[in-house]
Structure 1
Amino acid sequence: MPEKLRIGVIGCGTYGTHILKCLSVEARRDRIVLAAVADPDEKTRSGAAERFGLAAFESAEAMIANTSLDAVAIATPDHLHHEPITSALANGLHVMTEKPLDVRSQRAEQLVEQFREAGLVLYVDMHKRFDPAHIRLRQDIISGHLGRLHHAAIHMEDRIEVPKLWLKNWASLSSPSWFLGINFYDLIGWLTDLEPVEVWATGQKGVLHQAGLPDIWDSIQAHVRYENGFTAAYGFSWILPDCFPSIVNQGLRMIGSEGIAEIDSQDRGSFAAYGSQNRSAVSNPFSTLEYDHPLHGPVTEGYTFEAIRHFIDVVDAHRAGQDVEGRYPGGRSVIGCIRLAEAVDRSLHAGGVVVV
């Protein structure tokens, strides 16, 4: 039986910390060894190293060169995924990266092929595939309960703090389509098993410009036609006011010849308002739940953590000789959402319909 998986984390910001929380729980359960972290910001990496008791490095290359690892988890800004992925590949390491795999579909395709040839797992954290409501919807679609799929409406919107604070150093290199849309472009492809054919995108600017972030899209809408005539209307924005009770608002509605399905992906019935806080809160415990387990101490539950744990399961199965192809978010299944995001950009620039 292979030894415990040794993992290093690259990027210790908001989502890197999310990954570290999950992996630290799995390390306490003796499933893995959480070995090291890397981040170019000294304060960020030293804080993570102290909090989780890890060795810390300024770069992914330094961490990989000086630490015994089997895999890395990458949570750098979207446009900076490529370099640490290729470094991991060169050193024979399995990879879990946050979405998207790359911001260029051609490079993403090359990476998929290179990891396949090397016999390594290249896993993309498409955690919306792990939401129980989405899993149920996929089962219903496969079972034919919705009949022939006609159309869908999807929305995902963030509070304005996301581009202003979370992404303040690289919001100009992203957009609501890339940062938010990738999640649902992938999800709809996974749910329907249909390929997008053409897209017409529109967008608005102004709010972020006034907030000191010029020439960044506030909102983007994309009307996408898929094969077999199915259409999806996507709406993405990251300018919700600070008083909005959730960091994100999201959901989908799908119509077929035999039925309808609606999922409010955010409001799962959990509401709170406290005098010590300046806003009420609508939380999603199905997504992220942290608490003290009576036997295991601090634990992480919810589909965003389950997606991370699945990476461990996949690599363990792969190292034990099992065929894991097609059983995780990877391979060619994670390329379609990148192609669609690229097509949305082209449509915004052209001002009309473009082929995906």
Structure 2
Amino acid sequence: MARFPGTDASGRSRLHAVARPHRVAVLITDGFIPFELGIPHRILGNARNTDDGSPLYEVVTCTTRGPRAVRSDSDVTVLVDHGPEALESAGTVVVPAVSDDNSAFLTGTPIPEMAEALARIRPGTRILSICTGAFQLASVGLLDGRPVTTHWAFAERLQRLFPDVRVNPDVLFVDDGDVLTSAGVAAGIDLCLHVLRSDHGAAVTHDVARHTIVPPHRDGGQAQYIERPVPDPAGPGTAPTRAWAVGRLAEPITLAQLARHASMSVRTFTRRFREETGESPGQWLVRQRVDGARHLLESSDLTMEQIANRCGFGTAQSMRVHVQAALGVTPTQYRRTFRTAA
């Protein structure tokens, strides 16, 4: 059974039990992309304990061979203080994209120094890739048999070079437990926010997202950014109806009601809704209910039945099924792990 990332078998947070910050090593080599290098530092590096303001993560940059100056894919060069030995003490390793003139991307064969560095990672370490960083992980066999994603423009290439990898080009990120992969560029932000939420809950994540001026959770999947016919901007959208629905989560909401509020036929509304969010109305509504339950589990003393009613699940059992499917733990385990201090 899937387990909520950052928790042990009982649902207790692994990271909360550790007094010192969780160490994150960002591994780069020549040709790295500066924007993607900055994402883990900006998102995870700025996360703070809500009780005392102490840092929750120690984020360090390391290179594949000794402390040295590392050239980016642009006119930026960074002086990196850590060599690959930093990977041996990391609880999480992040591999951002590098320019597409390397052997992993071109032929599927690993960059020798990258392979040597990745071999230093301890078993059980959580590994993340951003964008085409997935090619580096796949080239050394770390993605064999796993569901993964990468930038939609390179998903077909990843699948062709690594047929044992299960590539999904239609999502912002894939969480497969100890290995997580993200789509292109800014999807690395979504992935790091997901990791932060998994480790420390919604309150910490919302604080970091607010200071970074990004949404804590983006609607839809990566597919919405793939080139497709653009909906008529002058036509009626579904945003007002989505806002209307969020304000009424405690009530039963049918597809017919949503379409009627938007003054559309059910067929037109469903098509427009998917174009704008990347999800069906039903999928979106369940996610809103789960997010609402999440917030109340963290911040209130309400019973499971009360939370289920307020979020529109009807019964605690129904809420349990949906929350466990979405988060990998029961509502009780989630509350035990992420309940914020009163």
Tell me the TM-score normalised to structure 2 length: 0.31
Higher share in strand:
1
Tell me the TM-score normalised to structure 1 length: 0.30
Question: Greater RCO between the two (CA within 8 Å, min separation 6)?
Answer: 1
